Structures are given as structure tokens and as C-alpha cells.
Amino acid sequence: MARELGPRIEEILEEVVGDTGPVLWLTGAGISAESGIPTFRGEEGYWQVGSRHYQPQEMATWRSFCRMPDEVWAWYLYRRSVCRAADPNSAHRALADLEEALGDGFCLVTQNVDGLHLRAGNSLARTYQIHGNIDYMRRADVDSPAIPIPETVGEDWTRERALDDEARALLCFPDGAPARPHVLWFDECYDEPNYRLDSAVSVAAACRLLVVVGTTGGTNLPLQIGMIAARRGKPIIVINPESNPFVSLGDSDRVTFLQGTAGAWVPRLAARIEERMGSAAV
């Protein structure tokens, strides 16, 4: 049976309805789990080179890309195939509907590189992809805007498939400069041009409510966003099947934990926010 959002959520919405600033959603791999994309720290998250298994933390690095670009590219093309085979789920769709209703009263910061929020209909202007997008590449030699990976690279990359000459040639710029995946690696820093660092920090300070969905908070910026919102006394709602560090941010009475999946809670919460704020959007 569907669980009710409960009186605490109604109190929060009553409190923020007259505030300014967007309702900020911060999402992680958990929101795409019901689309069939393995979470980052789930069992599918390993990486194989030869006979050895690596964890992404060892391999998703600039250092590894410099040492073995073909292997790193092959891994990302495989993961890109998994993402492109997946469809947005009810939680993604609910956030696209909510943006349509709230306009600038809505903002989304996502750690997911799968592009599913955009495919569901969220706009690039209000979606900060702070870890990049697996469908894009940029120059490996100098800073450059990201561009889509050519369609001709194909979407049927299995985990075992190695990079061939044809793909290698497509993963270059017209002057022959090699491309890299447009994703943030573990030995790299957030920035504004690629990953919307400043925009994400600013919206954390300006938001009226923060909703955190499906993340362990294992990286720096997402937790920082939570801390900024908590320090400013903003209400925080956490949606996750398990507890995480966001649940204990700031004063306990400012954080509400909706335990369960994104599919169970996000459409219901988004619909209720739209009912309360749709007409009063910024």
C-alpha cells in the first residue's frame, strides 16, 4: 500500500511555500537504479583489464587514461551502452514535470552521468551535471566544450569489447587531437566550465528546500551542498532505502528521512510540491 508523505512534509511545504529560491533536488545513482542502471558502488561496478578486476576508484582517473586510453575508453563506451539502453523511470519523469510547473523555482544537481534527467525532459539550463555526461567527450589536450560522442561509435559495446581502429579514429577531433570522456575523474577537481561547481554552490545557498535522492554522499561537492543548505537552516528531505550522511546533517528537526526507493517517493513528493507551489513559483 502507498505510504503517506505525512504531516512533517506538509509542515515543510507550508513553511517554504512563501519563500524565494528554487526547490533544489540533488540526485545520485539510486534514482536510476529502477531504470536498470547499476549504482556506482553496487556489484556491477567493477572494471576488468586482462584478467584483473579493478574498482572504478582505481581506474576512473586521469592517470589511468594517460596510461591506457583504449581500456578507459572501452569501459566508458560499455557503460554508455548500458545508459543508452535504459529509459527514464517514474522518478525522472516526475522531476521533468515539476520543472515544467515551477520554472525557475526548480533546480536539479545530479551526480549521474547517464543523461536520464535530460532525456526525461529536464532542461540543461536547470540541470547541473556535476560529474559530467557519459554521452559526451571533450579534448584531452586542452580545455574545450564537450560535444556528443559520434553516433557512429555505436551502442553495442559489451564489457569485453576492445577499442578498434575505427572507434579510435572517431574519438578524435578534426585536427587529430584525442578526445576524453566528459566525466569527472577521481584525481580531478570540480570546476564551473565543465561541471557547474560555482552554480551548484550558489544554488545550495539560495534554495528554499533541498531534496536528496539516491546517493551515499561519497564525494565532496554533494555533501558540501547538503552542508551549505543545513548551515542556512533550509529544510532537507532525504529519499533513500538506507540511511546516509545527509540524514544527520545540521539540526535533526530540519532533516526528514523518507525511507524507500525513488520510485516510491519522488513522484508523490514532486506532485505535492507542484500542488502547493505550482502557482506560486518564482
List residues near ligand OAD by CB under 6 A: 28-30, 33-34, 39-42, 60, 111, 131, 184, 214-216, 218-219, 240-242, 244, 261-262
Shortest reach from residue 39's CB to ligand OAD, in Å: 3
Minimum separation from the CB atom of position 117 to ligand OAD (A):
13
CB atoms under 10 Å from CB of 44, counted, come to 11
To which residue does cell 557547474 refer?
196
| Distance in angstroms (rounded) separating the CA atoms of residues 123 and 108 | 9
Three-class SS of 181-195:
EEECCCCCCCCHHHH
Dihedral angle computed from the Cα positions of residues 41, 42, 47 and 53, in that order, rounded to the nearest 10 degrees? 100
**Nearest-approach distance from CB 157 to ligand OAD, in angstroms:** 19
Query: Residue 121 or residue 218: which is nearer to ligand OAD going by CB?
Result: 218
Considering beta carbons, is residue 81 or 216 the nearer one to ligand OAD? 216
Instruction: Decide if 206 contacts 22 (C-beta within 8 A).
Output: yes
Q: Could you tell me the three cell numbers for 20?
A: 524565494
Q: Which is nearer to ligand OAD, 127 or 261 (CB)?
A: 261
Could you give the count of Cα atoms lying within 13 Å of 106 in the half-sphere of its Cβ?
23
Answer left, alpha or beta for residue 195, where phi above 0 means left and psi between -120 and 50 means alpha: alpha
Q: Smallest Cα–Cα separation from 255: which of 219, 215, 209, 220?
A: 209
Nearer residue to ligand OAD within complex by CB, 217 or 235: 217
Nearer to ligand OAD, 12 or 134 (CB): 134
Smallest distance from the beta carbon of 86 to ligand OAD, in angstroms?
13
Q: Which residues of 1-11 are buried (b: 16+ CB within 10 A; e: fewer)?
A: eeeebeeebee
What one-character-per-residue DSSP string does 38-59 give?
PPTTSGGG-EEETTEEE-HHHH
Catalytic position from the list 53, 92, 117, 131 = 131
Q: Least distance in Å: CB of 193 to ligand OAD?
A: 16
For 217, phi and psi rounded to 5 degrees?
70, 35
CB of 243 to ligand OAD, least distance (A): 9
Closer to ligand OAD by CB, 211 or 277: give it.
211
Instruction: Mark whether 117 is an active-site residue.
Output: no
Rounded Cα distance between 135 and 129, Å, is 12
Catalytic residues, by residue number, are 131
